[in-house]
Chains A and B, each alone.
Chain A
Amino acid sequence: MKNINIFLLVSLLVPYVSIAGSQFCFEREVSIYCEAELGANYSLNGYFVKNSKHYDFAARRAFDGGWCQDALKSIMTVMKSAHYCMEFEESEKNVDLTIDSVVSRTSQWTYFQ
């Protein structure tokens, strides 16, 4: 009976795992850059290694160069803090992540306003 309950619990939770969200905290800056895309668009991308695992991340969409440079500048400001955290939409089981926010005690950047 106990096994069945555990199975049911796992079955209910599995579909929600992929968007459970994750947060990684850092003491140093991670690599982040703007990449030229279609037309005058730029995408915001980056990567980091945590617990010997390589993660790539990107913002949801490419927008114009001004948007990307502004986002990059804001994120770099947050990353200058001694301690900051990055939040992603997916759980840490994923290695391709969607960046939602970068937050320190004194400043922050969020994709959605």
Chain B
Amino acid sequence: MAKKKNEKIKHRWRKCPLGTHWRSASNVDKHHRKKITVKEHYRKGTCVKNRSGKDSLYADEMFLISNTYFSKNKTNISSNSLGYRKGNQYDQIIDGWVTYWNEILKPKVPLDPDFVKVMIATESSFNSRAEAFAGKRAGHARGLMQVTDITLKYLKGHKTEARNQLVELDEDDMYDPVLNIAAGVRWLYRKKQIADAKFEEPSWLKSVMLYKGYRSMNNKNVKKFIRLYERIKSEKH
């Protein structure tokens, strides 16, 4: 189908014009709408308007992008598993989303997919079902990148933490590696934006520090992150 003149596609992998998102084909059960009974029917996949009116990613389109492009994407990620049983299981997803967000948000220094791999190692040990209680305000931290419930709200535009390039996902979505990594990398980018404003010499490492909630680069866990990152970069597998 030819694209209409005014329809701008934001990214080469996105299916729908700005302000809309992809809703996959599905079987719709019989239901009532405005006092009319709608019979069970098949609904084609289509682009629908975003609630926010902003550029937002929804689960259906994330799966579509992942299934269509991630296996074809030439990966730049290290094959070093860091000793974890599932250490290389998510490489294509990590590399795919890092490629996507790097192209969308265009940082001066692009995010390295190995950075995200180490992030997952330190956050969840590559356990996609990992769940930790993160306090009354933050709720629970879930999945590979331990995305918290409050972070999910921020990624939807709550309190204008993220002003655009929103991610519309729910708590249960965080146990799916494709959705979790999409959200986690987007949140790491938000932390990079904060690091850029906060520090004279911002870096991706400082955004990791902010993601993990630490105030100093001398923190034990930040140092552990650096050690693992150096290891992944020094060893060829």
Contacts and interface: CB of A to CB of B under 8 A. Distances in A.
Interface in A26-57: 36-39, 41, 43, 45, 56
A61 B136 contact: no
A15 B210 CA distance: 29
Contact of A43 (B82, B132, B141, B214): B214
Closest 10 CB pairs of A and B: A62-B213, A67-B135, A64-B135, A41-B213, A38-B215, A63-B134, A19-B83, A63-B135, A15-B83, A16-B83
B220 interface: yes
Interface residues of B, number: 31
Interface string A55-83: 01010111111110000000000000000
Nearest to A69: B135
B212 A61 contact: yes
A45 B213 CA distance: 14
Given A18-B83, A19-B84, 12 more contacts: A15-B81, A15-B82, A17-B83, A19-B82, A41-B214, A56-B220, A58-B219, A58-B221, A60-B212, A62-B214, A112-B127, A113-B132
Contacts of A87: none
Given A45-B220, A60-B123, A112 B213 contact: no
A18 B224 CA distance: 12
A86 to B, nearest CB: 16
Secondary structure of the A contact surface, majority rule: mixed
B82 A112 contact: no
Interface of B: 81-84, 122-123, 125, 127, 130-138, 140-141, 146, 209-210, 212-215, 219-221, 223-224
Nearest to B127: A112
Given A66-B135, A111-B132, A113-B132, A60 B84 contact: no
